[in-house]
A and B are shown apart, each in its own frame.
Chain A
Amino acid sequence: MMSFIRPRLRKPAWTVLAGAVFAAAWVIRGGPNWWLFVTLVAVATAGRAFAFYAWAGEDDDVGALAGSRADERQNQLSLRSRALAFNLTALAAFAGLTVAVALRASWWWPFAVILGVLVFGYLFGLSSYGIAEEAPADDPETEHQPPAPVGR
Chain B
Amino acid sequence: MRNRVREQRTQRGLSQAEVAAALGVSRQTVISIENGRYLPSLPLAFRIARFFELPVDKMFDPGDEEADR
Of B6-14, B36-44, B49-57, which stretch is located at the interface?
B36-44
Decide if A71 touches B27 in the complex (CB within 8 Å).
no
Band of interface residues on A? 10 to 19
What are 17 A-B pairs with beta-carbon distances under 8 A?
A: A59-B27, A60-B28, A61-B28, A64-B26, A64-B28, A71-B24, A71-B29, A72-B25, A72-B40, A72-B41, A72-B44, A73-B26, A73-B29, A73-B38, A74-B26, A149-B69, A151-B69
Q: Using a Cβ cutoff of 8 Å, how many contacts connect chains A and B?
A: 29
Distance, CA A61 to CA B25, complexed state (A): 11
Please indicate the chain B residues that have their CB under 8 angstroms from the CB of A61 in the complex.
Answer: 26, 28
- The 4 residue pairs across chains A and B that have the minimum distance between CB atoms: A71-B25, A73-B29, A73-B38, A71-B26
CB-based nearest B residue for A72: B41
Interface residues of A (CB under 8 A from B): 59-61, 64, 70-74, 149, 151
Please indicate the chain A residues that have their CB under 8 angstroms from the CB of B27 in the complex.
Answer: 59
Please indicate the chain A residues that have their CB under 8 angstroms from the CB of B65 in the complex.
Answer: 151
Please indicate the chain B residues that have their CB under 8 angstroms from the CB of A71 in the complex.
Answer: 24-26, 29
Please indicate the chain B residues that have their CB under 8 angstroms from the CB of A60 in the complex.
Answer: 28
| Number of B residues, CB within 8 Å of A | 13
Distance, CA A151 to CA B66, complexed state (A): 9
Min distance, Cβ B67 to any Cβ of chain A, angstroms: 12
Decide if B69 touches A73 in the complex (CB within 8 Å).
no
Please indicate the chain A residues that have their CB under 8 angstroms from the CB of B24 in the complex.
Answer: 71
Q: Judge if B15 is at the interface, Cβ distance under 8 Å.
A: no
Please indicate the chain B residues that have their CB under 8 angstroms from the CB of A59 in the complex.
Answer: 27
A74 partner, pick from B29, B40, B41, B44, beta carbons under 8 A: B29
CB-based nearest B residue for A64: B26
